[in-house]
A and B are shown apart, each in its own frame.
Chain A
Amino acid sequence: MMAFPESLAPPAAESKTGVSRLSRSQSDRIGNVLAHVLLATGSVVFAGPFLWMVMSSLKTQFEIYYFPPKLLPQTVQWQNYMVVFRDQPFARYIGNSMFVSLCVTSGVILTSSLAGYSFARLRFPGRDRLFLLYLGTMMIPGAVLLIPSYALMIELGWRDTYYALIVPGLVSAWGTFLMRQFMLNIPKELEDAAFIDGASRLRIYWTVILPVSKPVIATLAIFTFMGAWNELLWPVIILRTPEMYTLPIGLARFQSRFPNQTPWHLVMAASTISVLPILILFVAGQKYYVQGIVTTGLKG
């Protein structure tokens, strides 16, 4: 049990039976402390792998294998980061990944918000069935789509192009679902008022619906950006030209084809670099992100 300094502790209240009990503010405080301890422990658990990655990126190859493991490097190996950029055109990979991820994210926000608005607000025959069908596509495992998607890209002549990386990712059933759920909760009166003012559907979507959808847009943007940023398999299959490689391919290229010859210290340095944009995006959109998760029911 946590002990409080006497000066901070409020006087214990007397119950009707004369037995002392904790006042509401005291129990609130204890609850807060417990919550903080719990959350702090949780954050250590969640931050642990990240910290391990950063520390390992500053070790030598063989320090990685120490047992029992040591968190801190014997001597900080800053040069690991230089080696990463020297051995591979990492700046180029970052640029490619950034371009592809931004395009996909922007596209998904646009298509999902339009589709979500349509499913939430427009009335047309078969709307709900169409939506269910749309949701049904989420049940199809990605691996099953690889071969048909690749065949389609060949047909379009898009192999080894940025189009193949961007266009298939521009529409998201999950994003549409997310948007629809959020937009269902937007008061209809807002739309009605706009209608009375003579606004068209598209105008309402643009000037009324989107401005109040910032939380869900931020949530969708973070998830979509992360997905596109981390995608490995599709770029590996579709790309041939090294100048077009994305960051995950750059990371994978550090792997050795033979057992236990992967330079893990460099992999960790490259991984640290690769998570930075995600981290920045998350910190920038954290407020909306949390709000979006709460309001769309994503938190389960």
Chain B
Amino acid sequence: MSKRVSLNRRDFLRLSSLVTAGVTAACVTGTPAAPQAVEEVVEVAVSPRRAEFTMGVIPPETTGTFYQGGWSPGTLAEQEQNHAWFKEFYPNMEFVPAPEIGWSSYWEQIVTLLATGDHPDSAMIHFTRTAPFADKGFMLPIDDYIDALPPLDWPDDFHFTAVDNIAYKGKQYGFPIDWAPRAILINRDIMDPILGQWPPPESWSYQDLLDLAIAATDVSGETKRYGLATGHHAIRQWNVTRGFGGHFFNEEITEGRFTEPEVEEAFQYTYDIMHTHQVSPSAADTQIFGGQFSAFVAGNIGMWWTLSDETRPMIEAVGDSFHLGIGPEPLGPNGRFGFEGNVGWFIPSESNHPEIAYEFMRWSLTDPDQAEFMSVAGFGGFPGRKSAGKWNVLQIEEFLPNYGRAAWELGAESEEHFPLFPEGQEWMPVYDQHVDPLMLEGVGTVKETLANLQADTDQLFANAVRNL
């Protein structure tokens, strides 16, 4: 006969109180030491590459912990590379990368660390945070370090837009991890008969794209087919606006310019795609598909106007289900504005090891061999170093000819990026608040929406306090 094991009230309470008492006692009696850096100092054999990769100001015997804050320990292979670098140049230091977490958690984490002064030694940044962080003094300018030990072929062999996205008010604050231009992924099974030629013409215009999308859209059947999936978030819409010749802000970024005709034209163009011609899946349809990526993979979208770093996962996801192609960002009346954004590394101003952070960052993000590695094995997109992008192109063009021309070469045609300003984080929700109802639900008119956005933007800037 089996005996029934049960935890009675008395046992439960006893157990609970014992555990709690134990924890409390442990807390009271002593604080556990945080993980210590390597205590045993290893005698360092100076690497012959030391002059090439370090500034020579920090002794190789240095001990301690190097904490790389941020959302990016990266792939296992990348982590191994990072550990190997420390082992070669600072073998007594322990390299501790932050856990890989999502963007939203990362932003709360990094802001908490920076605000409390417990800065990591280096950290990841999205370009939209450059101005807010620099303005609050959270970032260390690296210009002196660059002068002391510049990256090879600096700055000529680097995408200006990606580098300038981590600079503010004339100071460089970091190096780019990637450089992400936009492109148009194409379901050739749907689009080839409509396009009539392959590849699509490099000079295709916004209007051409809309005409093709209208021809490809068929929502009469049970399975709806859309010609073009696109987005309307601020940075994408800025690209289109520049294509039409408009600007979001004045040059000093102290006033909005949303009521100017070119801006209105650009927003009207996106609105027409979504509502007037309904060639893009609605918000509800996109939700059913599980997002634009899934909708495109499912074969229900002719063209997806997106970031080029979606290409690699898209090739894997589509497999043999349809013939995949790629086209460049189209030309607007004012030209082609294909660059959307990038991420990078920066050195927090209270970093315990700023020199080592610079050396590590310089190697990790600018060294030609490492840039090649990152281009192929590090992530899906192009690295900040121009010439290393070819490795990414070579790999992806095995599956997707025209990728290099459409995304890499034509994506670099413009050297403009989204404006950086310290109120960026406050402004983005203001933009969404006004533009989401218009683009997602078709509520209101473009003119009204932009007038309201203009008013709130100006109010935000009027109340802003800038330190730099």
Contact = CB atoms under 8 A, between A and B. Distances in A.
Mutual binders A and B: yes
B31 A161 contact: yes
A298 interface: no
B294 A67 contact: yes
Contacts of A175: none
Contact of A257 (B16, B31, B67, B71): B71
Contacts of A255: 100-102
Interface residues of A, number: 53
A116 to B, nearest CB: 15
A261 interface: yes
B101 A214 contact: no
B9 A252 contact: no
A233 B108 CA distance: 8
Contact of B293 (A110, A157, A167, A260): A260
A62 B317 contact: yes
Interface stretch (B139-147, B151-159, B308-316, B426-434): B308-316
A259 interface: yes
Interface string A53-79: 000000001100111010000000000
Contacts of B170: none
Interface string A91-125: 00000000000110111011000000000000000
Contacts of B96: 240-241
A260 B108 contact: no
Interface stretch (B112-120, B351-359, B401-409, B456-464): B112-120
Interface in A232-269: 232-233, 236-237, 239-242, 245, 249, 252-255, 257-261
Identify whether the interface residues of A are mostly helix, strand, loop, or mixed: helix
Given A147-B115, A233-B108, A236-B105, 20 more contacts: A66-B298, A67-B300, A106-B17, A107-B20, A160-B34, A160-B35, A167-B23, A236-B101, A237-B109, A240-B96, A252-B102, A255-B102, A257-B379, A258-B309, A258-B313, A258-B379, A258-B381, A259-B307, A259-B380, A260-B310
Interface residues of B, number: 56
A241 B95 CA distance: 11
Nearest to A111: B20
A160 B32 CA distance: 9
Interface in B151-201: none
B177 to A, nearest CB: 9
A297 to B, nearest CB: 23
A23 B20 CA distance: 57
Interface stretch (A31-39, A130-138, A148-156, A270-278): A148-156
A255 B98 CA distance: 14
Among B17, B31, B116, B118: residue with most chain A CB under 10 A = B116
Given A147-B112, A240-B67, A252-B100, A210 B23 contact: no
Interface string B126-154: 00000000000000000000000000000
Interface in B24-81: 24, 26-27, 31-32, 34-35, 67, 71-72, 74
B35 A240 contact: yes
